[in-house]
Each structure stands twice: as structure tokens, then as C-alpha cells.
Amino acid sequence: MSVPPADELPPFDPGDPLGLDDLLDAEERAIRDTVRAWATDRVLPEIAGWYERGELPGIRELARELGSLGALGMSLTGYGCAGASAVQYGLACLELEAADSGIRSLVSVQGSLAMYAIHRYGSEEQKERWLPGMAAGTTIGCFGLTEPDHGSDPAGMRTHARRDGTDWVLTGRKMWITNGSVAGVAVVWARTERDGGPGSGGVRGFLVPAGTPGFSAPEIRHKWSLRASVTSELILDEVRLPADAVLPGVTGLRGPLSCLSHARYGIVWGSMGAARASFEAALGYARTREQFGRPIGGFQLTQAKLADMAVELHKGILLAHHLGRRMDAGRLRAEQISFGKLNNVREAIGICRTARTILGANGISLEYPVMRHATNLESVLTYEGTVEMHQLVLGKALTGLDAFR
């Protein structure tokens, strides 16, 4: 087949050099544009100040607005959730993280971790009690798995739950918990004792309402990443819960790990939002910043940087699209999500760092988004599975040999 003459084709679009918009239908574009408009109006004018002060003021109002957009528990069905496709959810994550990783983290933890756990493994009573309010953003949730001494190896968790009559009593600590101090409910994973009763033994999920005696969530301060995000520790000191606080649908680590896979999928898309914002800032700067009598975008070395950044950015978006279509078809494996998370976050950090070099000293200023995105992505690189963990997941899948231990 011959290639049509250039004058018969649409003009080259620097914002979409591969024509990836052609992969989207009208509804997908509408969702993307709606989320982008909200982020542009509500987040971008304030985010530099929030980040500099290390706060996310009005988080409850933001959550309600995100609920009105249908962005919370977006890919879940029923209970007030939007029932969106995986691709639609991914596009929303990309646009939210183009504003700031902290905003996308708020949505991911709410929908892909806390709500997903309840939706997939909760009883009907638990779903009816919690999910409608969480979908509307009137109730914020958090997800307690990581501990001070156990992150990549959740099997070593020390938080435990024992039976006392029909009640459960939880003791332990969780660390680096997004939304923790503002959450109305925490999904907490704990080891349970083998007492011979139904469902005894193994890791179980528990729904811990805020205000339960013995439960507290002090906020973690002095962060240099995800500063416009609420991050907390969860402390459980003999927290007594009724029998119906446990998620009945799962026992073992496959429960929390399946939730993490869902959250990692959103990161595959979201990281490309941070990369896109940084690339666009560098491209705009290169077109207008003059040195040696002309815009720096006219120099070969700067054009090489921009070309390499564009290639990795749009390859990453294409990968996210592919994984989203596989998820919608029910064919996406956890190893494939690891592939996407490993590649896209790593490449996004590289794009941010290169963008900073184009901006020179201005690149460290909060007048531009580049350094903010770069520091945020250092957290994104670690949470929901470090580089090393995803490399080992893929290594095991490729070789059939387990190198984790």
C-alpha cells in the first residue's frame, strides 16, 4: 500500500505525534476532556502553593467534586459507581496526574484500593454501608498494608488480629498510608490466629471505621515528595471490632495483592500524565527561551532531547492503551501490569529529569511543574511495588525461576 502524499494527511500534531486520539471513541474523549478541564480549573491554579506548603487543603471538598465527576471507584459497577471501562479510568488517571501525583493518588487509593477491596471481597451489607458514600466522595477511604518494617514483603506483616468471643481485636501499625488521617474507613490487612473457627488463620482484611477506640492515624510530615497529599501512619492498639468487620470474600495475600494490581494499572497511565506535563513545559520553554540569539529549541542537542522525550512519552501512552484494552477484554495478567508500571514510571522520571535540563535553573522553580513532578515520581517509583519487585516479577515470568528468596 502506498503512503498518501503529505498534503492529503492531517497536519502533524506535536501533542499527539502518533495519532493516538484515533484509538479513542467519543465517550472516552469526553471523559478525558472533562477530567482535564476539572484539573485545570481546580488544581493547577493552586497546586504549586499546596506543594510548597506541604498540604492539601479542602481535601474533603475535592473528594466530593471528584465523586460528582464519577472518578471515585470509577471502574466499579453498582453502589453509585460509574461502571466505566478500564481505558476510561486510565485516561482519568493520566489527566489527574498531569496536574499532580497527589491528586491521582487520592483517587487511586479511594477507588482501586479501598473501594475495590470492599466491592470485590466485602459482604452485601458492607458494600451497601460504605460504597455509595465513597463513590460520592462524602466518605474517604484508606488502605493499610505497608508497615514500618515490611513494605515489599507483606508476608512478614506484624499487625495481627485475634478472636475474643465473636469480636476481633487488632493490634499493629501501618505506614505511608495515603488518605489515612482523613479517612472515614480504613481497610486494614492483618494476620489472624488459627483457632479452628470458620475462616481462621491467614491474612484477612478488616474495615475499621474512624473513631473506633484504639485506632488513630497521625499525619506524616516533612516529606519531599507527594507533598500535596495526605500521608499517615495507622496505629491499632487493641482495636475491638465486631465479627462483621472482616471482609468475608478472601483469605491470604491474594486479597491485598489483587487490589494492588488494580492500583498499579492506574499508575501505568498516571505516570504518563506527569511525563506529559513536564514534556509540554520543556517544549514550550524551548520555543521561546533565547540563547546565542535564537530559541534554544533550534539547537540540535535540545531537539534531540525533545525527540527522545516524545518517543518515550507516547510509547508509554500506547502501552497504557494496550493494557487497558486487555483489561477491558478480561485478558490482562498481573505480570503485564508489572511490565507497564516498571516501564512507564521509570521513563516518566527520565522525561522529567531531561525536561529540567532544558529549563536550566528555571527547572527547579515551582513556576514550572517539572521538579514537582520529578520528586513526586520518586514516590510513585517505590509505592505499589518497587522497580526491583517488578523486575523480579517479570524475571520469574520469563525464566520460570523464583528469585524473590
Partners of residue 161 on adjacent β-strands:
170, 192
- The alpha carbon of residue 145 and the mean position of all alpha carbons in its chain are separated, in whole angstroms, by 15
Decide the pairing of beta strands 231-241 and 202-209: unpaired
- Verify whether residue 384 is a known catalytic residue: yes
Alpha helix locations (H) across 227-333? Answer: 254-288, 300-328
Integer CA distances (angstroms), 273 to 63, 101, 113, 269, 303, in order: 20, 9, 20, 7, 21
Distance CA 326, CA 337 (A): 10
| Rg value, the chain, Cα | 22
**Catalytic hit among 65, 97, 384, 388:** 384
Which residue shows C-alpha cell 479542602? Answer: 58
Partners of residue 143 on adjacent β-strands:
187
Question: Which H helix or E strand runs over 237?
Answer: strand 231-241
Structural contact between residues 37 and 45, judged by C-beta atoms closer than 8 angstroms:
no
Partners of residue 163 on adjacent β-strands:
168
Distance CA 368, CA 386 (A): 27
Question: Which H helix or E strand runs over 174?
Answer: strand 167-178
Distance CA 129, CA 374 (A): 39
Task: For residue 310, give the nearest of 340, 341, 282 by alpha carbon.
Answer: 282
Question: Which H helix or E strand runs over 142?
Answer: strand 141-144
Which residue shows C-alpha cell 459482604? Answer: 123
- Three-class secondary structure assignment of 358-394: HHHHHHHCCCCCHHHHHHHHHHHHHCCCCHHHHHHHH
Decide the pairing of beta strands 141-144 and 185-192: parallel
Integer CA distances (angstroms), 335 to 28, 94, 251, 343, in order: 26, 21, 22, 12
Instruction: Provide the annotated active-site residues.
Output: 384
